[in-house]
Structure 1
């Protein structure tokens, strides 16, 4: 079995070496790039299954690197990104998620938690959707919105909508439960593979990104509606 290839873009050489050793023992092939420039140049060469990206780096910081990864027009644009943020600053996490990061991990972190996060992101990508999801119909259609669960693509009026792997899974989880009001906890449980702290704003940030991708007017959404004090509901109505 071919090992998963990871690209770690991190200026802390000691931390990168520790991660390389630890994840290497778990069967991962980790390439280290010491800064953003080298990380971007390594991306097409390594063709990683996942990028571990430090936020604070000299020169090009992690936010700009993430922005450039997501702006690419080739297959690398869809590579999952796990962002490392110093001290768990909520604003750093929110900005990172808004730029397209799939997950984040505050420093300092336990190697076991990093391993769990990496495995969770890769598992979601491999499974092609939330664990336990029904596969009776591979394509979900809601008017001009089409969600291809097997192809992991979303189109609106036949135009592609760009979502991260985690955002895709969130959209599928809600679309499969169209018309049902879901709390944030229920949405996360439907997706699985990741636990967030209580009162974390990450789900709200992801929902905002999904709305920007699939709604005609993200400020006046018609598909994903907020139920104040409860959570969200994916509307059943057709376009």
Structure 2
């Protein structure tokens, strides 16, 4: 990293293949944004799947794993405590990436190291700080269970979302009654099993869409009966049809 006295330290990471970092943490808060591709951030709080129109905020000292299933170019800003916006949450959160914020991040990460303490960089970082807009978790966040029974079950569904069973079958697999399963799932993850299953499928679709895979293959791989069924759910959650999601705003 650059001089630790700097209020903001930019960092560039480009990968031509999939990667997964080991679990790690930083002494500074971190803003992670993929300028191309999809970056995934997982913490004990859950998993975020971040497309180019969003970034993820990681508070200081939060253990996390960063990765991507395909080529990705991502930019990171490490913020000293006094550079963290007052509105910043004390937990991970999605951040809206406006056209202005996008250009600010690109400009910040392109600065020569020798210029990071100059007047221009100071003004740039101040404007960037003011442009951060923190969003509610959905729809880019997937909570992960703490209960050991649910953890193994959900890990299997994340590995192959198409195999996610209905509610009664899911409860039976864990040797539980339907009512007990509903209560456990809601208490541990803060949402219903049906909502979580839908969220898992939709987030799994984002890297596939970014890779340009055909809609039919994506829909079937995720357990939908048809591309139109997948598209209808996607549009209800994200506000646009899948084919328009990665188009520039």
Greater Rg over alpha carbons, structure = 2
TM-score with structure 1 setting the length = 0.27
TM-score with structure 2 setting the length: 0.27
